Chain A
Amino acid sequence: MNLFGVLLLDREPLSLTAVPGLVMAWLQDAGGFAALGLIIYLLAVMLAPKDQPASQKLRMPVTGFMVAMAVLSLLTYALMAAAWAMGKGATPADELLPPAQVGEAIKYVPPTVHWHLQPILLALGGLFAILGIAQPFVRDLFKLRFRRIMALGKICFKEAIRNRIFLAFLVFLVFFLFPVSWVGTVKPEDELRSPINILTTGKNIFLTIPFLILAAFAIPNDIKSNTLYTIVTKPVERFEIVLGRFLGYSALMTFVLLIMVSLSVIYVYTITLDPRAKEETFKSRVTARGKINFMASRGFTEGTNVGREFEYRKYIGGSPDTRERAVWSYDSIPGNLTRSDRDSVPLEYTFDIFRLTKGDENRGVDVNIRVCAWQTGQYPSPTKGDGIWRWTDPAKQKQYEDERAQINDNLKANKYGPGYDSTLNYARPGTPTWKLVSDLAKKYGFYEVPSVEVYDFRTGSVPIPVGVFQAAAEGDPKNSEGEVIPRLQVYIKCLSHGQMLGMAEADLYLVEGQRSFAENYYKASFGLWCRLVIVIGIAVTLSTYLAAMIALIGTLFLYLSAYFAEHIADIGAGTSIGGGPFESTLRMVRGESPTMPLDQNTGALGAITWGDAAYSWFFRRYANIIPDVDAFAWSDFLAEGYNVSWEYLVVNFLILVGYLLPWGVLAYYLMRNREVAA
């Protein structure tokens, strides 16, 4: 049995298909903040005293376009409010997630586009507000000159080199390049995984802190040392100062990160690894994942919850007679799987075994695997106690079984000549017998691994003949009723009595191919790069208006909040155990358990509920402004030996731009309105 890494995917990485939904959500969320900003801005201008100096008036211009957009935005929001009040155009419940339950983990689901009146009005209102508030910003963008920004950026490099604290932090990074075995015992299989985790943690801490300090202190220090006064007397756009700082530190960070990543790659390639670690994680597998469903005699089920605290996996019961299956469905077949130059595709899997009986010493459980193209439908036997699933076309099943038996007889009788095995059962890729297996799989779109032993959290692999994928890729996948069906399905059955087999969507996949580990290292570091750019962006923005230390603490608070996003989402959704702050306070005063239902006869229950709802609303808005750092987490992919797709990185970049753009506009306004003239 081969050993590979185990990848836990709590949330599926965002792919390009999620972009429209993300854009809509961005328009709704960022647009809401933009509308608020626009109204505050317009009110500030309107309420400003008339006798203020000309320079002040110049810094707060109001154009007709802004006013028009503000009016349009308000009108759209008013329409949205009316539709909401009348109950028209809301997103139907079946398109929304079921309401979260108290105490249950909130599963991340990427936003989707809803073509209904209310969400569209919300997005439209946001769009108008964004256009309105961004108009001066966009207009002034054309005044920016790259040469001036570069010059300001260069200062960042020089200052950073002069800054000894920054250099001291960088020195710490070198310690992370020491072999892990110097500081402790590592399991042979973890000899690569552990250093990668340590290096990532080290880079996370020792790059974030110095760049946060640098970015937060840059502009306030310029003001403190009066250099900013000199700069603003030159023909420099104020936003160029912000952009110069941001791009300068980002470039510096990129340079340092590149060096660190390159050193890390050299380190990883030069250390002596245990063969087990090499086999497990020193690779970059390109995988094709399907959608998981659980099925039993009564159709789709949710899988069994065995009561583990981590509810990532669901379980199927084990027995030769069981009709329970876990089914992975593929709506499309990647071209790599049907290439004529390959004869097999590895199917890898990682399952969790939940034992109801002790089992045998040092033995896993047995699993049956069926890979079926869309032409070969499967359904559970109607007979209780018959654990074998039937083909939807019994004649075809009979034909398949007869032909397989015939081939086996021929092999036994040595009719195919030398070089063939005596049975199809033990055929391995690269042998003439495997060709027979593949041809049979192609003809019927079916391949079965009768029994394979699996161990707890150990990734196993079985070769699947390429024929079955070629069959699945052909034709138009529809069933007899004309409904579109998946092109390929993988059925998993647990054969061992008294054992439960747990699995999640990411636990089974087809290996399309391999890429370079070094390339994957650089790609995985892009996530860290995005995080650092976010930190620099927020810190520079806040430092345009706030004191350096306040900007630093503010940025740190915002950034660290992202690591508690789950908890914040819990509070925002009102699903935290014990209720919101008001309910919790009441419970504490009464000494009630947080899991007990609240007494409905409580006085002022309405006020408590309203207070908690308001609190949740504010937390939801706060959740909108904290960065989604989890979207940039690729270290597990790298450490476990999975390729980080370019598609994911493109989406990462789009998210980064989408997140920083509002901060950029804010920085533009703050810097423009700041009094810096001596």
Chain B
Amino acid sequence: MTNPNQKAVQRRQIIYIGLIIALLTLSLIWRGKESFRLPSFVADYNRVGALHQARRTHDFKEVPAAQSPINVVGDWLASRTILEQASRESLDLREVDQGDAEVDAAFVRLTLTGSRGLAVTYLWRQAMEYQKRNEFHKFEQTVNAVVRLQPNFTTPWLYQSCNISYNVSVENDRLTDMYYYIARGIELLAKGERLNRDSPDMRYYIAFYYQNKFSVSDKVTTLRSMMQLSAIKPSERNPNAMRDQSDPTQREAFQNFVRKNPQLCRRLREKLGYTQPKQIVQFLDDNERVPTRYDRDRQDAVMSPNEQFPALPPRFPEGPGELHPGVAELDDTFDAFLAARAWFLYSLTVVPPPTSEPDGPQLKAADRFRYRIPKAPTLIIFRQGAPRAQTYFAERLQTEGWFDADTRWYPDERADSRAETWFGDRNDVSRGDALGNRGEALASNASSREAWAKSFAMWALHGEQNGLRFSPAQLLNYQELARSVPDDDRLSMLNDEQLKAAGFRREQIRARNILNAYDRNRNMTNIGYFLAVTEAEQDPQTVKARQKLFDAAQTEQAGRKSEAITQYVDALAAWRQVLLRFKDFHRADKPEEDTYDMELKLVALLERSPEIQERARGTALAMQAMMPFAHEAVVAYPPVPDFAREIAEREANLRIAAEDPRVQERVDALMSDKKDDAAIAKDWHVVLKWKRAIAAELANRAAEKPLTSPERQKAADEPRWRAKAVEAFLVAGTKPTAWAELNQARDEIAKAVVEREFDWLPEYRDNFKDDSNRWVRPEAVRIVKQRLNLIRAKPSDPSTESTTESR
């Protein structure tokens, strides 16, 4: 039996419990938890979403009508719950709406109880101090703490990732360390991106770091190779499995590694000079622990996207062919540019869609909250990241010698010793090419031609979507419309009636604005250059010429100078045809400078040849003989090198021009000319000389025993042999033959033809008065010579010489 006091206590307890349950339930509803949603007859959640959007845009026209009066109240209440107000459709305030949420970091933030700013300031200062002292491991830990304490503040992520990838990485001389910190900077930003899903800047700069650090930095060859190691499974690049080259199993493992990764191995062999298997294995050993995407402790399983390096964007519909963390294996073609391309494209998914309208995208009210404008760079440049990355990718393949599907790499082709032979029998002392066999041929599954084609397509699409590229008809149409419209921005602000009063139509103003934006943006983005380059480079003719130039450079590198000269002449002649065909490409600055660069290689080879040296010495002697009074100046400033350079330059130009089809056509015509000997000898003595020489040689070859000199003379003048000589000459054509007379004859006659009839051709000008028609304009020549330090300094006054003292 309870007394009244106890009853009162019990009553009070029941009331309290009831209140607690009621408040808790109410708070759950008020918070808007998924499991406590209002029934549909009370709240229509589709309408609730529309209400959120309407509040954002202050435009309630698109909100559907409520189904019942209950719904009017219910929807309003449902749209005002804490969760709904903070949700993605409304204010984007929830951490999960911003990106991934980190429980541990959130816990630390809570425990700081309002002193987060103080802690972050202290840590930031400490981090800077560690960086100053090069205590990078402490620096990195501190930076990690700073960014995680304020995960949705994007600036520290951007600043510190750049700091690590650039400033910290370059403090490390050892490239393994440098690569590690580049990777850590990128990883940090990728982590920030996961926590801030809609940041275009973060996505863009991840791509930019990939592209920039692996394309223009000083140590790019090694860094690229390390990047590839990151994408290869650790078990496949285990140095211990291929260290002992005397063990057949290990040697085979090495060979399989090379077969699977020809691009990587070719770069290591040809660019870094790792010609022996043991050097390759040492490289693998030194970089065994590079950041990777595979978990070595779990049989090389692909790690979770958050842990992988190279960090890749998730799959997204706008980039169906792009790499993503789910790809089981990245092949030998993978490089930083492909990663950059994926991130660049991914960054475009959160910026407004492209438009050719100059006033910017006309977004629907709701879409204004879907997209963000990046802080930097300007939007039109921001948008061209992906085609730019693709262009770098194509350039990379081209520079490394992967031109088209038929390209093969012969690792043992230039092996100088057994130790440098990768695939031949280790006991076989001979080199692959000495046996007439280039050794094992390796192919890559990517080629520069395909990459250039894709690059051109991407640039073209980018141009079309952003008003940077119009068809000629379209452009003409806009120009016609805009012809009478002055370049005055105020016209755009006039209404239709005012425009009519001013004598214009709206479409005319639009055309003027489009053309203005077209000019401005084309200048800013340099898209004309990229279109011209990619269009030319994708062409099979260009690819072939590029391959010839590459082969010539390889031959030169191998020390076979005479062969290299022939290859360069042939390659440059082919290159000249490419430039003639693609005028815009020819006149873009870089191709022109590159052309002169390549020509200079030929000039340098010729300059050092004994023949040119002899001619230069002769010229110098002749000059001295004519000007004995200039002896002192000649001693102070010997002219032989200058003469040699000039003669070599002329010779190079002459030889290249001699390969021109028009010259060759004329050579054939001259050779076939049926004039009498006297007439030929009068104008073309060289033709007659070679006609006779080839005829004599033909007769000699046809005879049972070698002909005597008088017999050869006789045969040389016989019409029968002369006709056969012309035929043999024409059949051989421009192809090098084993018959020296045919090669020499064509060269000499062609040179004579150029000198007498095509002397404008070496300069490539159609008009002598106009420098713009030169093969390489003087400005490009000057830039290249300056860059290569080829402008010889005059002897300086001894009194002005540097007197820096060695301490």
Contact = CB atoms under 8 A, between A and B. Distances in A.
Q: Are these two chains actual partners, yes or no?
A: yes
Interface of A: 6, 8, 183-188, 190, 193-194, 197-198, 274, 276, 296-298, 301, 309-310, 312, 317, 319, 321-324, 352-353, 358, 361-362, 364, 384-385, 387, 455-458
B550 to A, nearest CB: 21
Interface in B289-333: 289, 291, 307, 309
Interface stretch (B29-37, B217-225, B409-417): B217-225
Interface in B203-231: 218-219, 221-222
Given A193-B137, A197-B137, A187 B180 contact: yes
A198 B140 CA distance: 12
Nearest to B220: A361
A384 B805 CA distance: 7
A298 B807 contact: yes
A301 to B, nearest CB: 8
Interface stretch (B167-175, B192-200, B587-595, B745-753): B167-175
Interface stretch (B70-78, B128-136, B344-352, B696-704): B128-136
Contact of B221 (A183, A186, A323, A361): A361
Given A310-B132, A321-B806, A455 B174 contact: yes
A276 B290 CA distance: 13
Contacts of A8: 133, 135
Interface string B157-178: 0000000000000011111010
A364 B806 contact: no
A251 B133 CA distance: 37
Contacts of B135: 8
Contacts of B138: 197
B404 to A, nearest CB: 29
A184 B144 contact: yes
B141 interface: yes
Contact of A185 (B104, B218, B291): B291
Nearest to A197: B138
A362 B307 CA distance: 28
A360 to B, nearest CB: 10
A6 to B, nearest CB: 8
Contact of B174 (A193, A296, A310, A456): A456
Contacts of B184: 185
Interface in B269-284: 272
Given A361-B218, A362-B222, A456 B173 contact: yes
B806 A322 contact: yes
A324 B135 CA distance: 28
B535 interface: no
B134 A310 contact: yes
27 contacts: A8-B133, A185-B184, A185-B187, A185-B291, A185-B307, A187-B137, A187-B180, A197-B137, A197-B138, A276-B289, A298-B807, A301-B807, A310-B132, A310-B134, A312-B133, A322-B806, A323-B807, A358-B218, A361-B218, A362-B174, A362-B219, A364-B174, A384-B805, A384-B806, A456-B171, A456-B174, A457-B134
Contacts of B104: 183
A358 B307 CA distance: 34
Interface of B: 104, 132-135, 137-138, 141, 144, 171-175, 177, 180, 184, 187, 218-219, 221-222, 272, 289, 291, 307, 309, 805-807
A276 B176 CA distance: 13
Contact of B807 (A197, A324, A352): A324
A183 B103 CA distance: 12
A612 to B, nearest CB: 24
B173 A455 contact: yes
A197 B141 contact: yes
A402 to B, nearest CB: 29
A194 B222 CA distance: 27
A8 B134 CA distance: 10
Nearest to A636: B135
B537 to A, nearest CB: 27
4 tightest A-B CB contacts, nearest first? A456-B173, A296-B807, A310-B132, A190-B137
Given A187-B180, A197-B141, A456-B174, A319 B134 contact: no
Contact of A457 (B172, B187, B222, B272): B172
A384 B804 CA distance: 11
Contacts of B221: 361
Contacts of A361: 175, 218-219, 221-222, 272
A353 B173 contact: yes
A362 B175 contact: yes
Contact of B137 (A194, A301, A358): A194
B271 to A, nearest CB: 10
A299 B183 CA distance: 46
Contact of A322 (B141, B309, B807): B807
Contact of B134 (A194, A198, A324, A352): A352
A185 B272 CA distance: 29
Contacts of A190: 137
A186, A193, A361: residue with the most chain B Cβ atoms closer than 10 Å: A361
B135, B144, B175, B309: residue with the most chain A Cβ atoms closer than 10 Å: B135
Contacts of A385: 806
A316 to B, nearest CB: 9
Contacts of B172: 456-457
Given A352-B134, A387-B806, A457-B134, A364 B173 contact: yes
A302 B175 CA distance: 32
Contact of B141 (A194, A274, A384): A194
A188 B289 CA distance: 7
Contacts of B272: 361
Contacts of B137: 186-187, 190, 193-194, 197
Contacts of B132: 309-310
A458 B174 contact: yes
B289 A274 contact: yes
Contacts of A455: 173-174
Nearest to A361: B219
Nearest to B805: A384
A647 to B, nearest CB: 26
B141 A198 contact: yes
Nearest to B133: A310
B803 to A, nearest CB: 10
Given A194-B137, A296-B807, 5 more contacts: A185-B307, A276-B289, A361-B219, A362-B222, A364-B174
Nearest to B122: A563
A453 to B, nearest CB: 10
B132, B135, B218, B806: residue with the most chain A Cβ atoms closer than 10 Å: B806
Contacts of B291: 185
Nearest to B291: A185
B289 A319 contact: no
Nearest to A276: B289
Contacts of A323: 806-807
B538 to A, nearest CB: 31
Nearest to B221: A361
Contacts of B174: 362, 364, 455-456, 458
B423 to A, nearest CB: 27
B134, B137, B175, B807: residue with the most chain A Cβ atoms closer than 10 Å: B807
Contacts of A276: 289
Contacts of B218: 358, 361
Contacts of A188: 289
Contacts of B144: 184
A335 B307 CA distance: 51
A353 B172 CA distance: 9
A387 B806 CA distance: 9
